[in-house]
Structure 1
Amino acid sequence: MFEAAFWGLVGGASLIIGALLGLVLNVTHRTIGLVMGFGAGVLISAAAFELTMEAYEAAGGPAAAAGLIAGSATFFAGDWLIDRGGGHRRKSPVHGGMPHPRGLDTPAAATAGAATATTGGAALVLGALLDGIPESAAIGISLLGGAGVSTAMVVAVFLSNIPESMSASTGLRASGRSTTWILALWAGVTAASTISAVLGYALLGDAPHATMGFIQTFAAGAILTMVADTMVPEAVEHAGRLVGIVTVLGFAVSFFLSAA
């Protein structure tokens, strides 16, 4: 259990690192988009090979398919509710602002983002939790096989969290949120991520293979829907066509970590 907490903390701590980078460095929206695209590729690979493939081999197709559908539907419903509450731009460096064509950064675009920021604080917190909990639970689940934590899963969560919090923190600062509020937000999400990893490990230790497979692919379905609904659109908006290339690079890095 302590090992699960440690690795959950490692994966979640990158949220704070990304937030600090977003607050301290003058990172362009294009750079954030490219890093986010890389993180999306890492998560796609981890969901496919570390979660779905293992679930299929252990529990069979029906359990794996049911988990994917349930995870996707659950995330979709939660994301829809959070979007309606004001969290639809939670991964954007320009919260509430109108997207600038081709992801270019201009003073006018930044001013528009700050002036029209409408994202609700509660929706942001819930959105960050909705995005982070399936990833961290997957880290805890990866320990159940007895062979140690999945390095690829930890790396995937760590790398994908950095651009997420970097981008969101940049937008939150532009919308007038204080540094203390921003860092407290990510510290809270990191704590929740750690707890999720522990619960993923503790509650499923004696679960049947079918249940394990369902939970693994439930996390995979939620992660893949999150990538498609929130990460990739924001990345393309701010970085353009190059996102496709860096997404493949992220996928390749995660894949070879899984295959090693």
Structure 2
Amino acid sequence: MWTAAFWGLVAGASLLLGGLLGLYAPASRRVVALIMALGSGVLVSSVAFDLMDEAYGAAGLDAAAGGLLLGAAAFFLGDLAINRAGGLHRKRSGGQQAQGSAPAIVLGTLMDGIPESVAIGVSLLAGGKVGWVFVAAVFLSNIPESLSASVGLKRAGHAPRQILLLWTAIALASAAAAGLGFALLRGADPNLTSGIQAFAAGAILTMLSSTMLPEAFEEGGPAIGLATTVGFLLAFSLRHLG
């Protein structure tokens, strides 16, 4: 459990790193968009080969497909509710958060990160060790997300201390989610663990396609497609070479 929590914290700690960069060393929006696209490509590859492949191998297509669709539906409905409550622009860098709700922004940001953390804990159950490529993918994708959001939150009038406390709290919640994901599912039926693994995959894919990639394209233009493909190839190559 503590190993899972540690790796969840490692992946989530990049939120704080991205927040620091956004507040004190902000990059151009185009650079942030390209990094976001690269991280998205890495995550897509990891979801396919580290989560779905393992879920299918352990429990077959029914559990993998069912979990994937349920995860996608759960994130879609949760994201819809968060957006309507004022969290629509939680990842934007232009200060649009001033028009939203602070609690909704916090809940939305937490919702974005929890599926990734649970997947880290469940991957220990499935394979006996953490998939370091998946952890690296989560780590990389978190940096531009919190960097962009921190710039926007600062422009919306939030104090840097509050922003950094937010990312610290979410990093700790990520560690707790990874640890609990391992502890609560230890000894569970493979169909259940595989279904939850696929559930996390569905939530992550829906998050990428509905938030990260559209926002990256808006700021980075057509080059985002190339950056996403490079990220996918990077994760694919590292997984097979490793």
| 8 Å Cα contact 2:88-2:100 kept in structure 1 | yes
Distance 1:207 1:45 in 2: 27
Any gaps of 5 or more consecutive residues in structure 2? Answer: none
1:193 equivalenced with 2:174 (yes/no): yes
User: Partner amino acid for 2:36?
Assistant: M
Alignment partner of 1:214: what SS? helix
Alignment partner of 1:50: what SS? helix
**Which of 164, 169, 188 is residue 183 of structure 1 equivalent to?**
164
**Which of 131, 150, 174 is residue 131 of structure 2 equivalent to?**
150
Q: Structure 1 residue 199: deviation in Å? A: 1.1
- Bigger mean CA offset, 237-246 vs 247-256: 247-256
Distance 2:105 2:159 in 1: 14
1:216 equivalenced with 2:197 (yes/no): yes
TM-score, structure 1 as length reference: 0.90
1:227 equivalenced with 2:208 (yes/no): yes
Distance 2:140 2:134 in 1: 10
Q: Structure 1 residue 257: deviation in Å? A: 2.4
For 1:108-127, what aligned pairs fall within 5 Å after superposition? 117-127=98-108
Q: Structure 1 residue 147: deviation in Å? A: 3.5
Distance 2:202 2:54 in 1: 14
User: Partner amino acid for 2:211?
Assistant: T
Distance 2:47 2:147 in 1: 22
Structural RMSD (CA) = 1.1
User: Partner amino acid for 1:214?
Assistant: G
Distance 2:20 2:173 in 1: 19
| 8 Å Cα contact 1:30-1:238 kept in structure 2 | yes
Q: Which residue number in structure 2 is paired with residue 32 of structure 1?
A: 32
Does the C-alpha gap of structure 1 residues 226 and 123 become closer, same or farther in structure 2, counting only changes over 3 Å? same
Q: Which residue number in structure 1 is paired with residue 69 of structure 2?
A: 69
Number of corresponding residues: 241
Alignment partner of 1:176: what SS? coil
Q: Structure 1 residue 145: deviation in Å? A: 3.6
For 1:74-93, what aligned pairs fall within 5 Å after superposition? 74-93=74-93
Identity %: 52
User: Partner amino acid for 2:76?
Assistant: F
Which stretches of structure 1, 4 residues or longer, exceed 3 Å deviation after superposition?
A: none
Distance 1:252 1:147 in 2: 25
TM-score, structure 2 as length reference: 0.97
More helix per residue: 1 or 2? Answer: 2
